[in-house]
Copies of this chain bind each other. A is one copy, B any other.
Amino acid sequence: MTTTGAGAARPVGRPRSSQASDAIISATLDLLAEGVTIEALTIEAIASRAGVGKATVYRRWPNKEALVIDAIACLKGATPLLPGRSVREDLVTLLAGMGKANDTPEGRIVLAVLPEIRRNPELSARYAAMVDSRREVIREVFRRGLASGELTPDLDVELALAMLSSPMMSVASMRMFPRVSEERLAERIVDLALAGMRGPAPCE
């Protein structure tokens, strides 16, 4: 122990190049965005596209799934600006944004990856954490609604979340109403769902 002395492991030798890691992540996302299926996605193709040896990939990630998860975690969806005038308006804005995201490259990537996630519990947790950051925005809207009395105080926030986002996702990704705009769909879903969530205030 002649070195730095910090409690952590002392990495000797050449340190890993973060450039390589970035190139690998980018290559993965590129391929995914080009429509390559998860199943058709290949470590060899990723390494070659990243200009990197296969071992450099395997040194960082144990397998394709882990790499893909890390890759999609790097996708940052732009959070839409919320008007903040009412719970309904905010939810419609958020849901419409979710629906539209299905058509962006990022949305397609996430969709492609989704099924693999369900299988691996560890990855599932990491994915949940990632998704949670996006849900947090909706949760915040709910909290404001509860405070303002727009929403009933005994609302189960997590369940309400599912009641809103999962119909939107399934309707949008299945293209069940191809002629209806995302905004209109979001409105109808929010209206239907909110009916059971409204607070007692505006009853009379």
* Interface set of A (CB-CB < 8 Å, partner B): 37-39, 111-112, 114-116, 118-119, 124, 128, 156, 158-160, 162-163, 166-167, 169-171, 173-174, 176-177, 188-189, 191-197
Number of copies: 4
Are A188 and B156 in contact (CB-based, < 8 A)? yes
Are A162 and B167 in contact (CB-based, < 8 A)? yes
Are A37 and B119 in contact (CB-based, < 8 A)? yes
Q: List 13 A-B contacts (CB under 8 A).
A: A112-B119, A115-B116, A156-B188, A162-B167, A162-B170, A166-B166, A166-B170, A167-B167, A169-B170, A192-B193, A193-B196, A195-B195, A195-B197
CB A138 to nearest CB in B, in angstroms, measures 14
Known: A39-B39, A111-B118, A167-B167. 14 other contacts (CB 8 A): A111-B115, A112-B119, A156-B188, A158-B177, A159-B167, A159-B171, A163-B189, A166-B167, A166-B171, A169-B170, A191-B196, A193-B193, A193-B196, A194-B196
CB A127 to nearest CB in B, in angstroms, measures 10
The CA-CA distance from A166 to B162 in the complex, in Å, is 9
Main secondary structure of the interface of A (DSSP, over half): helix
The CA-CA distance from A82 to B5 in the complex, in Å, is 66
CB A103 to nearest CB in B, in angstroms, measures 14
Task: List residues of chain B with CB within 8 A of the CB of A170.
Answer: 162, 166, 169
Are B116 and A189 in contact (CB-based, < 8 A)? no
The CA-CA distance from A99 to B192 in the complex, in Å, is 22
Query: Residue A166 contacts which of B116, B169, B196 (CB distance < 8 angstroms)?
Result: B169
Task: List residues of chain B with CB within 8 A of the CB of A119.
Answer: 37, 112
| Given A115-B115, A119-B37, A195-B196: A158 and B173 interface contact (C-beta under 8 Å) | no
